[in-house]
Chain A
């Protein structure tokens, strides 16, 4: 759909990732350093796909305990009650505040999962050398990158609650193991999004592909 445009790599040039200065690489294998800002130059991010895969797999692994293990241990009047994220959603929904339930469900369950799915899709499509929907895929990538920083909301709420609700012995809240995994999921997906080089999306559209995995 999109016309194949000439890329810098195609032209034998390399763009600085930091200051975006277009320069001639020192050599084809070792592009050298940016003349302007000193950043190490790369045609494509180093081992982008592999890194992204590793981080996504790690995030996917962490995603399971993040949802299974309790994120909060509420001790109310001597009774300790562990709460998982989905349990909290169910509680909010059953107690009538379905908008809140929806927010938590979207922010804490669906977005991390969506990010993982999106990144997997991007990686697979890049590896298969797909040329279709390149523009949409780039948009998807931008969204994933943008949304990443907002996913820590849950962790923030959790930590604030733990810090504030310490009304011993009536009520106290302690963090559960789940929150660690949840934070790990968020951080790992952010790193994965960072590791992914969106320029790879466009490389297949180009007849002279430069492979830098």
Chain B
């Protein structure tokens, strides 16, 4: 430092630049560390989604810090705490939702606990066997953000598949259940998603979901019907057994299709309401523009006549019974059965087609009806469709000499005249026969018969004594005679044998003698023949005698 004291001790300027800056480069390291750490914190904070609360009935399998909320199998959140609600009635699950899924937390989002479920229609949630339960999530359509939700007890059946929802209206639910399959040509295309009573409580509304692309087959012409269980019907048409799949057999199911006669029809929007028919046959019935309802009153019992029983016109099915009930006959103050029928003329009249049918005026139809019923004697009657089951149906036939009737045109539905049906006629005849039988002097006949039988009895007794007499008296005599005869025969037999032995014994003299005698006779015969021959040739010998020297 003290190089030169003459220079007034002024510091000498240096040629070397001060190389040390005040802040060392090494400070980059803590700054870097701070930046990274702060960056991570910022990223954490930024990626932090909202916290939501889910109110559940129970927290089965839910653990804070371990249970995830999954949407399409992606973790979108994690349960951070599980607590009881204030009144201890429910469980409040607090969950942290990932930032990217924060937009999904809207008013109608759904949460439910996913656990292994085994139902008739399948096993689901198997992955939870390994990973434990998780909270399932279904996105909602709402745009209102929400942070508090009420969890569902059951998973909503359809998550977010493409397709359309439809509503079916049915008088009763039958054996349908949620997740019951929906078939189109026996092809599983959807499922029942829910059901509830209609507002008025008179019918059931069944919500179904038809997956895309099958939902396009649901058109204005589509008919839905129930395929639940086994459909066994003993109708007047005979026995009909029908079932779809085993699943439908147990869990119930629905099917839809278009009737073959229908035009393709237009697509329908979601939530369209369709009627649900009981069976395919009913569903597929052709609608008839000429369809008309009539009422028939039968005085005879209608046991065996069920709703849906056919109504025939000259033997062809032209409608069906739609209601059977009782009503009071105002004239006689007696009950009678009131049968409501639906008449579909188009199904039997070949000349009618849809286009024509719409042109037929009601007036013309009434005129025709008057002619047929009042003039020609067309009458309805109950007939037995099956003797086995006693099913009845309503038949319309021309009844000769039917009593004249007048149709009361003021009524709606019109009442058509009836005559006692086949079974009723048979019953009436049987009744008359029974009456006749009843009128017979059965007691007198009985006495006569008894008398005759006692007489016969006496006769038989006489015959019996006679036979006994024959047995005791005549038969022993006969036996004796037979014995004598037998002895005679035996004697005769013995005589023959003796004779045989006498004549044909080997060394008896008689045969030898006999043989010799016969030889002699033969010789004599020969001599006689020679004599005869000679005499033939020399007849003169008889006069002159035998010439000498001539043989």
Q: Would you give the shortest CB distance from B383 to chain A, in whole angstroms?
A: 69
**With contact pairs A79-B66, A79-B131 given, residues A50 and B26 touching in the complex (Cβ less than 8 Å):** yes
A47 near B20 with CB under 8 A, answer yes
User: Which of B20, B37, B127, B131 is close to A62, meaning CB atoms less than 8 Å apart?
Assistant: B37
Residues B40 and A61 in contact, CB atoms below 8 Å apart: no
Asked if A47 and B24 sit within 8 Å, CB to CB, the answer is yes
Contact of B24 with A58 in the complex, beta carbons under 8 Å: no
Q: A188–B30 Cα gap in the complex (Å)?
A: 9
**A58-B33 in contact (CB<8A):** yes
Additional 19 contacts, C-beta under 8 A, given A55-B30, A61-B33, A64-B37: A50-B27, A51-B26, A54-B30, A55-B29, A57-B30, A57-B33, A58-B32, A58-B33, A58-B34, A59-B33, A61-B34, A65-B37, A77-B131, A78-B131, A79-B131, A81-B66, A177-B40, A188-B29, A188-B33
Least CB separation from B131: chain A residue: A78
Q: Does B171 contact A (CB under 8 A)?
A: no
A177 cross-chain contacts in B, Cβ below 8 A: 40
A78 near B127 (CB under 8 angstroms)?
A: yes
Q: Complex Cα distance A50/B27, Å?
A: 8
Distance A79 CA – B424 CA, assembled complex (angstroms): 78
Q: Does A144 contact B (CB under 8 A)?
A: no
Q: B1-54: which have CB < 8 Å to A? A: 20, 24, 26-27, 29-30, 32-34, 37, 40-41
Does B132 sit within 8 A of A, measured CB to CB? yes
| Min CB gap B38→A, angstroms | 9
Size of interface on A: residues with Cβ below 8 Å to B: 22
Query: Cβ of A126 < 8 Å from any Cβ of B?
Result: no
Bound complex: CA A184 to CA B34 (Å): 12
Point out the residues of chain B lying under 8 angstroms from A64, CB to CB.
Answer: 37
Q: Mark A163-193, 1 if CB is under 8 A from B, else 0.
A: 0000000000000010001001000100000
Q: How far is the CA of A197 from the CA of B130 in the complex (A)?
A: 57
Name the residue among B29, B34, B41, B130 with the largest chain A CB count within 10 angstroms: B29
In the assembled complex, A69 has its CB within 8 A of some CB on chain B: yes
Count of B interface residues, CB-CB < 8 Å:
17
Known contacts A62-B37, A78-B127, A54 near B132 by CB under 8 Å = no
CB distance from A190 to the nearest CB of B (A): 13
Q: What is the bound-complex CA distance between A181 and B41, given in angstroms?
A: 13
Q: Are the C-beta atoms of B32 and A50 separated by less than 8 Å? A: no
| Docked-complex contact B26 and A78, CB < 8 angstroms | no
Chain A residues lying within 8 Å of B24, measured Cβ to Cβ, are: 47, 50-51, 54
Name the B residues within 8 Å of A58 (CB-CB).
29-30, 32-34
A78 touches B130 (CB 8 A): yes
CA distance A195 to B27 in the complex (A): 13
Decide if B26 touches A54 in the complex (CB within 8 Å).
Answer: yes
B35 nearest in chain A by CB position = A61
Contacts of A77 in B (CB 8 A): 130-131
What per-residue 1/0 map shows which CB atoms of B61-96 lie under 8 Å from chain A? 000001000000000000000000000000000000
Q: In the bound complex, how far is the Cα of B24 from the Cα of A47, in angstroms?
A: 8
Q: How far is the CA of A49 from the CA of B99 in the complex (A)?
A: 44
User: Measured between alpha carbons, how far is A55 from B37 in the docked complex, in Å?
Assistant: 15
- Chain A residues near B37 (CB, 8 Å)? 61-62, 64-65, 181
List the A side residues contacting B127 at CB < 8 Å. Answer: 78
Q: How far is the CB of A165 from chain B (nearest CB, A)?
A: 17
Q: How far is the CA of A183 from the CA of B37 in the complex (A)?
A: 14
Q: How far is the CB of A70 from chain B (nearest CB, A)?
A: 12
CA distance in complex: A47, B250 (Å): 86
Give CA–CA (A181, B34) in the complex, Å.
11
- B-chain residues with CB within 8 Å of residue A50 when the two chains form the complex: 24, 26-27
**For A181, what are the chain B residues with a Cβ–Cβ distance below 8 Å?**
37
Question: Chain A 35-70, CB within 8 Å of chain B: the 1/0 string?
Answer: 000000000000100110011011101101100010
**CA of A188 to CA of B26 in the docked complex: distance in angstroms?**
11
- Residues of A near B66 (CB, < 8 A) are 79, 81
Bound complex: CA of A67 vs CA of B33, how far in Å?
Answer: 15
Within 8 A of B (CB), among A66-92: 69, 77-79, 81
B26 near A61: Cβ-Cβ < 8 Å? no
Report the minimal beta-carbon distance from A57 to chain B, rounded to whole angstroms. 4
Q: Give the distance to chain A from B127, nearest Cβ to Cβ, in Å.
A: 7
Contact A184 B132 (CB under 8 A): no
Assembled-state Cα–Cα distance A181/B37 (Å): 9
Chain A residues positioned under 8 Å from B30 (CB to CB): 54-55, 57-58, 61
Report the minimum CB–CB distance from B535 to chain A (whole Å). 148
CB distance from A120 to the nearest CB of B (A): 13
19 A-B contacts (beta carbon < 8 Å): A47-B24, A51-B26, A54-B26, A54-B29, A55-B26, A55-B30, A57-B30, A57-B33, A58-B34, A59-B33, A61-B33, A61-B34, A65-B40, A77-B131, A78-B127, A78-B131, A79-B66, A81-B66, A195-B26
CA–CA, A78 and B30, complex, Å: 39
B residues near A47, Cβ cutoff 8 Å: 20, 24, 26
Q: In the complex the two chains form, what is the Cα distance from A61 to B130 in whole Å?
A: 40
Nearest opposing residue in chain B for A28, CB measure: B1
